Each structure stands twice: as structure tokens, then as C-alpha cells.
Structure 1
């Protein structure tokens, strides 16, 4: 093994363990354990780590391989499929034999897994993150009576564009649940509020979305069976996650929102110009800017400043600190982040920083509002 191969294995193993710790830390809901077990196995089992180390680092090797495993398991239906939850179902019981079955499956299906990883990209459409975005939009709607136009950056399948058609429950220990949204919606999003529940701006009614448009290098059509199957495989194998993805995908199929294909830095100006001038444009970014290189983050800031000189804007972000890993030091919006959050991120705690940037009359201001579990299981509000 060359030094370069060894370095790749070390980096990928570190990524896998960090993601496992973020999604299923001590005290996490038991349903997230299968996600963590898969990622830990990728870090520790040679047949899985070798496969992951062959994937370019910018394609998120641990997550891409985990998705490829899920895709093939659901397609081939081997006995180990029993470990994976189905939409609308409950969590399968824990099984200490899972890792051995996973290793054997990877060994038998090595070529198929390698081909999937070479021809696909990881694309997790976590509709649960709408529960992180909604309170920020509620704040905006409370302060500004203009109709809201939601522009979802890196929209993927566009599930976040229908956030006004979902039902939300915010649960704080020792307090009654706070709910809002469509009572009959098949998409039921429940989020544990670990702190700041008394300050969380849960509206009495969902904000009205007057216009909605998604931007993505490759917008994804959930009406295509293969695309749907791959996106479903990218969803963590947690019962709630797979259920809400399937329900949200059904809404997106029935009523697709407008999508623009292209790099957000190249097409955003035209997208914003296409929105009626009386609307307040709300740019929404969940786990997109964290993957932009520093030069592109700076370019986005310049683009935002230029757009803000022409019309009022809001930018809602739910992104981990950058760069990912032990060198994490800042949020993507350039806002002041609590020092203890920086320490947590450097110690391997991947979480989304919920931030709001407000531009009025060309003047920019912003604040960090909270932080959230990457799969929307919990939210802390400042």
C-alpha cells in the first residue's frame, strides 16, 4: 500500500467516525444506531474502507458508500434487508450480527458497490431540516408583511420547497408540544427542542409562500423510478427519516416546484430577478455552503452584496462550521459563533448552525439563532 493510499484510508476512516458520532451520539434516539453502525464499519472493516478510499474525497466517501450499500440491499433483497426500516414501518430490532452480514455483503458485491459509487453522487434530501428553517421564516414573516419567495439553494429533489405543506411538532421536555401546519399532511416532522424552547418562534400558522424555486447543478426528478430509488438509499436507515422522505417525495411528484439547473453562483442573479419585485426573497441553504470551497464562499458573499443593493433579501442557512473536521473555525455566513460550539465541532460534533442574514436597503446584518442535529432530530435555540 502506497503512502497516498494509506493517507486516503485514514482520512476516510476519520470522516466516517465523525459522521457516526454526529448522527448517533451518546443519548441519541435508538433509531439512529444502524446509521452509526454502518459508518463505524466503513471506518474499521478493510473491505469497506478499501472501497471508500477509492472514492474522491470531495464526493463524501463514507456517505456515498453507505448509500450504495443501502441501494443494493434494497434492490437485491438479501437476508440482511431485514435490518433496514421501510416507510411507515417501525425500527427493526437491533441485531449484533449486522456488521458481519454487512462485511460479507460488501465482499460479495464489491464490484456492484464500486460501480454505484463511481456513477452516483451522495444526495441526501433530509426534509426534516424544514423544522430548522421554519422558525426563521416565521421570524421574517412577523417582521415583514411582504409575501415570501423561497429560493432553495442546492434543492436536489425540491422537498424543502414544500415546507408550507407539512405538519410540525416541537417537543420541549416539561412543556406542552407546540404544533403548526397542515393537520392532514402525510409529512409529520417532530423535533426535540433541547434548549431555548420558550424562545423558539413557532408561529400560529405557517408563513405564506408566494413563490418558490429551487436551484441545483442537477435537479432531481423523484418521478423517475431509478432517481427515487437512489435518493431513498441516501436517506439514513432510520424509520422516521425514510417515512418522511417517502411522504415528501409523493408531494413533490404530485406538485413539482420550479427548478433551475446550474451552479448557484452562475444562475442565482437571474433567478432572483425572475421573482416579482413586491416579494421578499428568502434564500434557504441547508448543508450546501459547507461544501463550497473558500473561493466560492467569498464569491457568494460578493454576489449577495450585489443583489442586496438592488432589492431586500434574507439568507437562512443551516450549515456545519467550516472547514469540516478538527480545523473547524467559522460559520459559512461569517457570523459570530459561540466558542464552545467551535470546540464541539473540532471534537467531531457535526451539527448545523442555524443563521440568518438580513439585507435591507443594501445594509447587511445577521445573527446565529441556534444549532441542529444533521438529521433534524433535535434543535437548540439561542
Structure 2
């Protein structure tokens, strides 16, 4: 999925293309020969086995987007999205465990960290220490003006004291560091300048996590609350060393996160469709495979068409990102389309399976439950529709 040849060379060249293609082929084999056979264990135990986690760290999956000088693979956005897409063919937990590292956390470091912060945290996440991203709260999600977590200057030093609760935080039970968004000004300020970002070690006194939430799907991937009770962090924990920039860093990193979710939804839709193809050729009715029935073929064809469209969107938005373009709207559009598309595909897959699609012993039922969250996290479809429309209207008014 390279950028069109008639466009300018990308700003971010990433890994050497031949080397990356070899890595991608190796990863495809690993997904099919190692990760998919272990899915039953992941589901039964609701965890990724430690030996697989060790293998994933050794393969460098936790540092895909970390610059090479800090121990990472230095992938560009196009390559990163393809890796996510390949990994997402297997159970969602495998992507989820490293996605925050290489997505929103690494992106926030790139966009806003000081050189000292990059030198400290890039190598740690590249070696496989797990990160999480703390924006959502019990009383606020997309509404940053309602964010209640506070950070006030420490009267006993040059640091900060954090208090508040974060909710639905992916990988919170396993993370060693959290990027926490906190209010550093009591009043809501223009462009969300009342929000700042802090790098908070999860073993800092006063940090605790709730029990992992029970979820509809995505077994082995864990979310939990993070509680911050008079958590003291040093002054250099403030991302970028400047207050009022946290929301900007968060929003820029969310572009990355939305591409990751879109790539994952597209990869999982492909897995579901492949399963439906296999089932339709094996299942017989009226003396022949149901794959011969035209209405089954229509559902298969519609799914292939939509997956292809999402793959094309992924190639386009990531190429734009690598050229340094502003991708806020297109990343949102890709995430909306891919996540909604995945929902339609898994619904068709259940229908193709028929009665078997409603039974837990078949994969279709799991695909249906797993896919539902893609339309919610990293910005619900409805929030992203509002964001896209807002930018469309702003652009219209600018040009009239």
C-alpha cells in the first residue's frame, strides 16, 4: 500500500522498504501459525500468555514507531498501519497490548516531549514496558471542558500534585507509565489551554487501578480505572515542560490512535470474511454448498467491496501523514468508515453462518462481539461526524 507514484516523496521514509516487506511477511506467518492457534487459550484465561508477550517484545512490536536511535523500528505511518492491520487478523488482545505504546503514547512524545523526556521514555516503551493513555473520566470523555482531574503546583518543590479518576483506560492493569491529562487551570480556556499532560509512573505513591472491567468482547484485552490520590510528580513530568499544551498533544496523538483503530477494524473484518468464505464452502444445504446461493454471494461480495474501500482509505491517509499533511479530518473519516464497515461485515458473517453464527462454539459470534467497540473508542462515530462536519463548515466559510 505505497503512496501513489505521482506524489511527492514522503517526509517520513520509515524502514527500508525491502526490509519492511520481509518483516511483514514474517509477521503474517507468525499471526497465522502462532497467534491464531493460541486464541482459545487467550479467551479461556482472559490474558495473553507470557511466552507470547516475550516473543512480541523480542520482535520489536512495542517499539514500532519509536525512532531507531532510541531502540525502536522507526516505522512511518504507512508501515505502522500495515503492521496493525496484519496483527488485527488475530484476536484483538494481541494488538491492544502494544497499541498504546506505538500509537498515542509514542505520538505524544514525538509531538510534545522534551529531548530529556524522549531519551527517558522512548527506550523504555521500545523494550516492551507497557504504556496507557489517561484522558477519559467518569464525567467526561470527548468533552474536555468537563475534565475534572487536577494538577496543582507542589508547595514543597517544583513538581505537581495530581488528583482525579480516569475511566476505561486500556492496559491500565499492566502499564508502567501513564500519560495523564489534567486540569492546570480552574477555568475552561480557549483551545483547551486549561488541560496539560503529565508522564506518570504507575508505581508512583497514590496511583492505583481498579479491577479490570468485564466487557462484551475482546477477551485478553483489559481496561480499568486509574485513581490518582495526591500523586506527586517532579516538574519534568509535565509533557513538553509547558502547561496548557496537553490537549493539543492528546488530539494530535488521537489521529494516530484513530488510524490504528481503523487499521485494526479493517484487519478484523478481513478475518471474519475469510471465516465466512470457508464456512460457506463447507456448509451444505439442499445438496450443495451455500456458497453457490446468490444471496450468500451478495453478502460476501458486499463485504469484499467495503473492506477494499477501507484498505484504500488506509493507504491514502497514511501516505498523507507520511508527507506531513494535516490528517485530522481524514483520520477521523477513515476510523468512522472502517469501524462501521467492520460492524456490517461481522453482521453479515453471522447471517452467513445462520443458526451456528449465534453459538459461542463458532467464531462468528465472537467476531460480532469483538467488533462492536471499534465504533466507540478513540472517538465515537457520532463525535467524529461532528468533528468532520465542523471542519467542513469552517472550510466553507473561509472560502466563500
TM over 0.5: no
TM-score, structure 1 normalization: 0.28
More helix by share: 2
More strand as a share of residues: 1
TM-score, normalised by the number of residues in structure 2: 0.27
In our comparison, the structure showing a higher alpha carbon Rg is 2
